[in-house]
Amino acid sequence: MKNHVVDEMLEAIWRCREDDNATVSACLEVAHAEVDRKTIQQMEEQGLITLDGESIIMTKAGEKLAFAIIRRHRLAERLFSDILGMGQEQAELAACSFEHSVVPEVTQGLCTLLGHPHECPHGKAIPPGKCCRERKSKVGQALQPLSELTCGPPARVAYIRPQHHDRLHMLLSMGISPGVSIRVHQRTPVLVVEVDQSEFAMDRQVAEDIYVWLDPQE
């Protein structure tokens, strides 16, 4: 079963539970179209949920995964809404992509950058993380588009926000995905990047869709 399908269902269960309606029919209605009753059965076999009649109950393992998914999604909504100035509908669509294509380590830095928000733009609670409890105020890394990265220092891909699915497949075929190390070797006349000891020439518009974390200490 595809991981993003499981993610979608766990997110749906969390949202339905907030409305005190975590039933099979309600969760399927909220979840992505790819999710069906077979998905629920497989998730039960994997130990992520249990069923009590029509009610869905997340296990400890399922709760942990759902907590992280909801946290990433709602922090992403705040990022796209507050920092990038997107409308709520656009922010929601972008956040759906973000939650599946971001390395978990980015979440803490993003939360700190946003000032540990308590709610998403829709007024739903953002599950607090360790950084919230410790009230961290300094982000150890800087987020920027790959197109702005200077030559030399390595960075990690934080997330990809492609304009088209074909572009995403192209990037994945080059080995560019959240978490990988990437370095810019040349900026002009064309952008040349190194990924896993392979070099690729890249259009700047494509590079603008790739966001990276750069550690100032490197």
Residue 17 has pLDDT above 50, yes or no: yes
Q: 């993380």: which residue's tokens?
A: 129
Which residue matches tokens 């790819």?
34
Q: What is the pLDDT of residue 47?
A: 96
DSSP state of 20: T
Token look-up 């550690």 returns 215
Q: Which residues make Cβ contacts (< 8 Å) with residue 24, sequence separation at least 6? A: 37, 40, 51, 54, 55, 56
Is the pLDDT assigned to residue 83 strictly greater than 90? no
The strand ranges marked E within 90-209 are: 142-145, 155-160, 181-186, 191-195, 198-202
Give the range among 116-125, 135-144, 191-200 with minimum mean pLDDT: 135-144
Angle between helices 60-78 and 88-98 (to 10 degrees): 140
CA distance 200 to 94: 27
Domains and CATH numbers, the chain: 3-58 (1.10.10), 64-133 (1.10.10.10), 142-214 (2.30.30.90)
Give residue 1's pLDDT band: very low, low, confident or very high (50, 70, 90): very low
pLDDT of residue 185: 92
Mean pLDDT of 195-212: 87
Distance CA 25, CA 35 (A): 11
The pLDDT, as a whole number, for residue 50 is 96
Which has more confidence, 140 or 96?
96
Q: Say if residue 142's pLDDT is above 70.
A: no
Q: Is the pLDDT of residue 218 over 50?
A: no
The mean pLDDT of 196-206, rounded to a whole number, is: 88
User: Please, are residues 56 and 22 in contact by the beta-carbon 8 Å criterion?
Assistant: yes
Distant-in-sequence, close-in-space partners of 75: CB < 8 Å, separation ≥ 6? 107, 110, 111, 114, 117, 120, 126
Q: What is the pLDDT of residue 21?
A: 93
CB-CB contact of 155 with 181 (8 Å)? yes
- Mean pLDDT of all residues belonging to the chain: 82
Any idea what the Cα angle at residue 41 is, between residues 19 and 64, rounded to 5°?
A: 55
Q: Would you call 117 helix, strand, or coil by DSSP?
A: coil
Q: How far apart are the first and last CA of the chain?
A: 38
The amino acid that residue 138 corresponds to is K
**pTM score, whole prediction:** 0.65
